Chains A and B, each alone.
Chain A
Amino acid sequence: MDLLNSYQNNYLIVFVFLCLGILLPIVALFLGKLLRPHKPEEAKYTTYESGIEPFHDSRIQFNVRYYIFALMFVIFDVETVFLYPWAVAYDKLGIFALIEMLIFVIMLAIGLIYAWKKKVLRWM
């Protein structure tokens, strides 16, 4: 029972931190609203573009590079999801799990080398 309570309390603390992290910006911005001046003027609300009038929408198509890097990220992040439990339990698993994990990582490394050779990793 003690363990369960302590477990729940620790996550309650995390929740408290979340509440504070959201409350601080709200309170600070509300206080600022009472203090700061408000003198609206047309020119203040234009988008900044180094002094010239902004032309057409800035939400254009992205370079496809970003998407490819995001895909690579997903692959390797999933790999770390598998590596973490293995690392924690390594003492109990021993040499056999090490070889298994080595095979797993080598397969992913082949993927990395393939991407490298295909010039996916070049940012140009």
Chain B
Amino acid sequence: MVEDLLASSPGLLNFGIFFLLATVLLLVILGFVTYAILAERKVMGFMQLRQGPNQVGGRWGLLQTVADVLKLLIKEDTIPKSADRPLFILAPVIAFAPAFMVVAVIPFTDKLQFADIGVGLLYYIAISGISTVGIVTGGWASNNKYALLGGMRAAAQMISYEIPLVMSVLGVILLAGSLNLNDIVDAQSSGWYILKQPIGFIIFLVASIAELNRTPFDLPEAESELVAGFHVEYSGFRWAFFMLSEYVYLFAMASLTTVLFLGGWGPLPFMDFIPGAVWFSLKFSLIVFLLIWVRVTLPRLRADQLMEFGWKVLLPVALANIFLTALLKELFNFM
């Protein structure tokens, strides 16, 4: 059915059907964000030997995030008088829209996927870069010293870590010979790229944490020095959209890591009786847990350490990894 739809000539009907399907995905992602926040708080709580949310919605605090969202929805909306009003309103939209757009190309299973475009990986990287503009816009429009510092730091950090991120996936592209995420998953049926590309995986993981602005790389919103960084002046639902885009990126980045390095929906050997969707969600949850774990374990870096680490360690290692991969591939093709 879906193949027929894709083969039919694009028109308003197709637009309507895609719109409905994408809305379903949006709701699923919102559900994920709701419970990812709860899971993060709960896991952090247990790791720090405390309970975490345990009042709203039973012992597990199952309705905690729902209550938080409702609170944000009925909060008064204030825009500072000295702020640049149009940009201030626009910034959360610029930050959020790309976060949702990148999810379009991610293949969850061989059946469950939205846009299957040839340059999927490049599309992801290109679109995710736009969010930085939203953050800088928000920081600048607030006309607040903390916000401006946070916005500038966010820009510097995100462009510095974009390069190692982009270069670490080059090894994967070399091995798969394609930018299409489906082809990359198919190419991993003989072995996951985390085994063939261990250096690439580590660089990708570090750079993706920095791109997600999560601890230990959360300098743009370092509470102890910048209060809240670029979103100091934001409140209510405008603030919620910055947070939402952060968690949608968490969803997208964990999915991308699964697809690139953990074989996507592919099963472990001899265990292909378990459906692909289960495999994907297992690997995906593992990555999300890893990100939470890193956040609880490591303290925040200093600004100068952060920049120097990106340029002096990650970039040269990523470059070396590309040529190591290319060379190994050349040698093994000969043999």
* Chain A residues within CB distance 8 Å of chain B: 2, 5-6, 8-14, 16-22, 24-26, 28-29, 31-33, 35-39, 44-50, 54, 57-59, 62, 65-66, 69-70, 72-73, 76-77, 80, 83-84, 87-91, 94-95, 98, 101-102, 105, 109, 112, 116, 121-124
Given contacts A9-B5, A32-B237, contact A25 B93 (CB under 8 A): yes
Residues of B within 8 A of A38 (CB): 76-77
Check A116 against B312 for contact (C-beta < 8 Å).
yes
Q: Which of B42-50, B54-62, B171-179, B256-264 interfaces with chain A?
A: B171-179
Show 18 residue pairs from A and B whose CB-CB distance is below 8 angstroms, ordered by the A residue. A9-B5, A11-B115, A13-B115, A20-B26, A24-B26, A25-B96, A32-B77, A37-B76, A44-B78, A49-B144, A57-B143, A66-B155, A70-B155, A76-B315, A77-B162, A90-B174, A101-B326, A122-B304
Q: For A2, list chain B residues within 8 Å (CB).
A: 7
Apart from A21-B99, A32-B237, list 5 A-B contacts with CB within 8 A: A21-B98, A49-B144, A62-B152, A73-B162, A76-B315
Q: For residues 117 through 176 of chain B, which have their beta carbon under 8 Å from a beta carbon of chain A?
A: 117, 122-123, 140, 142-148, 152, 155-156, 159-160, 162-163, 166-167, 170, 173-174
Query: Which B residues are CB-close (under 8 A) to A6?
Result: 6-7
Complex Cα gap A69–B7 (Å):
46
- Check B237–A29 contact: CB distance below 8 A: yes
Once bound together, how far apart are the Cα atoms of A116 and B238, in whole Å?
40
CA distance A123 to B5 in the complex (A): 53
Stretch of B268-276, B282-290, B291-299, B316-324 on the interface side:
B316-324
- Return the 7 tightest CB-CB contacts between A and B, nearest first: A21-B97, A123-B304, A21-B100, A13-B115, A73-B159, A87-B173, A17-B104
Given A10-B115, A22-B93, A46-B80, A121 and B311 touching (CB < 8 A)? yes
CA distance A70 to B186 in the complex (A): 37
Identify which of residues 81-134 in chain B touch chain A, using a CB-to-CB cut-off of 8 Å.
81-83, 92-93, 96-101, 103-105, 114-117, 122-123
Q: Which residue of A lies closest to B241 (CB)?
A: A25
- B84 nearest CB across to chain A (Å): 9
Q: A36-B75, A58-B145, A83-B170 are in contact. Are A91 and B177 (CB under 8 A)?
A: yes
Cα A52 to Cα B183 with chains together (Å): 57
Query: How far apart sit A90 and B215, CA to CA, in the bound complex (Å)?
Result: 37
Contact flag A87-B307 (CB < 8 Å), given A20-B19, A48-B233: no
CB <8 Å contact, B319 and A9: no
Chain A, Cβ-Cβ closest to B101: A17
Question: How many residues does chain B have at the interface if contact means C-beta atoms less than 8 Å apart?
Answer: 88
In angstroms, Cα B14 to Cα A4, docked, is 15
Interface-centre pick from B148, B159, B227 (highest chain A CB count, 10 A): B159
User: Out of B10, B22, B23, which one reaches A8, CB within 8 Å?
Assistant: B10
Tell me whether A87 and B174 are in contact (CB under 8 A).
Answer: yes
Per the bound structure, the CA–CA distance linking A83 and B14 in Å amounts to 36
Q: Does B15 contact A (CB under 8 A)?
A: yes
The reply to whether B9 and A5 contact each other, CB–CB distance below 8 Å, is yes
Find out whether the CB atom of B74 lies under 8 angstroms from the CB atom of A35. yes
Taking each of B140, B143, B156, B178, which has the highest tally of chain A beta carbons within 10 Å of its own beta carbon? B156
Q: In the bound complex, do residue B163 and residue A77 qualify as a contact, i.e. CB atoms below 8 Å apart?
A: yes
CB-based contact B159/A70 at 8 Å: yes
- Given A5-B7, A12-B15, A76-B315, the answer on whether A66 and B104 have CB atoms closer than 8 Å is no
